[in-house]
A and B are shown apart, each in its own frame.
Chain A
Amino acid sequence: MPYRILIVEDSPLVTDAFRVLFTEAGYEVDAAATVAEAIERGTAAPVDIMLLDLSLPDGNGLEILEALRARGSLPRSTLAMTGHADAKSRRSCIEAGCAEVLLKPVPIGELLRQIERQLA
């Protein structure tokens, strides 16, 4: 069974690029563009890695972690992605349960390495 990655990202352009990347790397890929959709996809089937964009049209990405935790459906590991990783937002991501905070756009080599590390 391939590992399942949930991409939470509101830009279809970025989601498409990730979909190509992760499919080629051998992962099963699912995607959500809003907080509501991510909660729905995250509870539908267990998620190994959630790639989480923080600013979504209907709220903050960290709300998804809270909701999934309440439903007992936390992904095995969550990597937050932000365009602006200052010390404060980094801290709030880690406190919310993210394993890492990555600065967008993450070079694909680094992104794949990070994911492998989380799955190891």
Chain B
Amino acid sequence: MSMSDRLEPASSKRRQKTLESQAQEAQRTIDELRSRDALKTQFLSNVSHDLRTPLAAIITHAEILRDGMLGELNPKQRDSVGGIVSGGQQLLDMIDEILTYVRSASDQVSLVRTDFSITEVVDQVRMLNQALAAKKHLTIERLNGDDLPPVYADRDKVKHVLGNLIGNAIKFTPDGGRVWISFSRRGREGEELVVEVADNGRGIARDNFELVFREFAQVDASPSRPHHGTGLGLAIARNFVELHSGKIWVESELGKGSRFFFTLPLNAPHD
């Protein structure tokens, strides 16, 4: 028996032990990170709740003043108080987005599925965004979908996803541009609906296709960036789509616009 043969079992055992202890160490680190992440999420949720209440009071007081309930204001005073209301409203929207994200990422979130017409929801969201689009002289069109069967999904959450995608398309498309929504079907029997929200705006570089769906990520994260926000909109959209076992993705080319897609189950025809 050679020297190395006799040494082999002992060193292999040692290696095995080292590997085991490394694996245990890695598991401890993962557990630790998970529990810190859960703590951070809980903190985010609590702080957002606590911010919401005084903000609601500020907005209500400012509205009372603005509407002249405590005496008429002159136009300059009214404008100024109006600024408090709209600034407060914007802040509230951001807090709500954080709360929606926390909920969408938590285990307790559940879907309330019903049959509904996806084109009806798309048209509602288009209406809601009409004023914003008009300001930038953008058009929002729905290209097809009148003959689609109902989708079986959580209407509020699908509406939220559409609102986010259409809102982003408006935000990142320059004046005079175009936003459009279209549908296609896939799967063996066309049982899956693919919803597309597209624009001819500035587009997204291929390297950022994954990044845009990550929480708190913004392609331009500099303080001087032209578009501010929580960076949670697409992360929420992804969570809501995935709750429906759907997929969400983007295809784009810089300067040539973006096409966001997500899938939803179409309702099986009723007997």
Contact = CB atoms under 8 A, between A and B. Distances in A.
Interface of A: 11, 13-14, 16-18, 20-21, 24-25, 83-84, 86-88, 104-105, 107-109
B53 interface: yes
Contact of B112 (A14, A24, A84, A86): A86
B69 interface: yes
A109 to B, nearest CB: 7
Interface stretch (B54-62, B144-152, B220-228, B234-242): B54-62
B57 A17 contact: yes
Nearest to A21: B64
17 contacts: A13-B54, A17-B56, A17-B60, A21-B60, A21-B64, A25-B69, A83-B49, A86-B112, A87-B154, A87-B155, A87-B156, A105-B56, A105-B59, A107-B63, A108-B63, A108-B67, A109-B67
A17 B63 CA distance: 10
B52 to A, nearest CB: 6
Given A88-B112, A105-B59, A13 B69 contact: no
A109 B85 CA distance: 13
B1 interface: no
Q: Which 6 A-B pairs have the closest CB atoms?
A: A105-B56, A13-B57, A17-B60, A24-B69, A108-B63, A11-B53
Interface in B13-61: 49, 52-57, 59-61
Contacts of A104: 52, 56
Contacts, number: 56
B64 A108 contact: yes
Contacts of A17: 56-57, 60-61, 64
B52 A83 contact: yes
B49 to A, nearest CB: 7
B53 A20 contact: no
Contact of B60 (A18, A87, A88): A18
Contacts of A83: 49, 52, 99
Contacts of B59: 105
Contacts of B69: 20-21, 24-25
B92 interface: yes
B70 interface: yes
Contacts of A107: 63
A105 B64 CA distance: 13
Nearest to A86: B156
B56 A14 contact: yes
B101 to A, nearest CB: 13
Given A83-B52, A84-B99, A87-B155, A108 B70 contact: no
Contacts of B155: 87
Contacts of A109: 63, 67
Nearest to A104: B56
A13 B58 CA distance: 8
A41 to B, nearest CB: 21
Contacts of A108: 60, 63-64, 67
Contacts of B55: 105
Nearest to A11: B53
Interface in B89-135: 92, 99, 103, 110, 112
Contacts of B53: 11, 13-14
A95 to B, nearest CB: 15
Contacts of B52: 83, 104
A13 B51 CA distance: 12
A108 B59 CA distance: 9
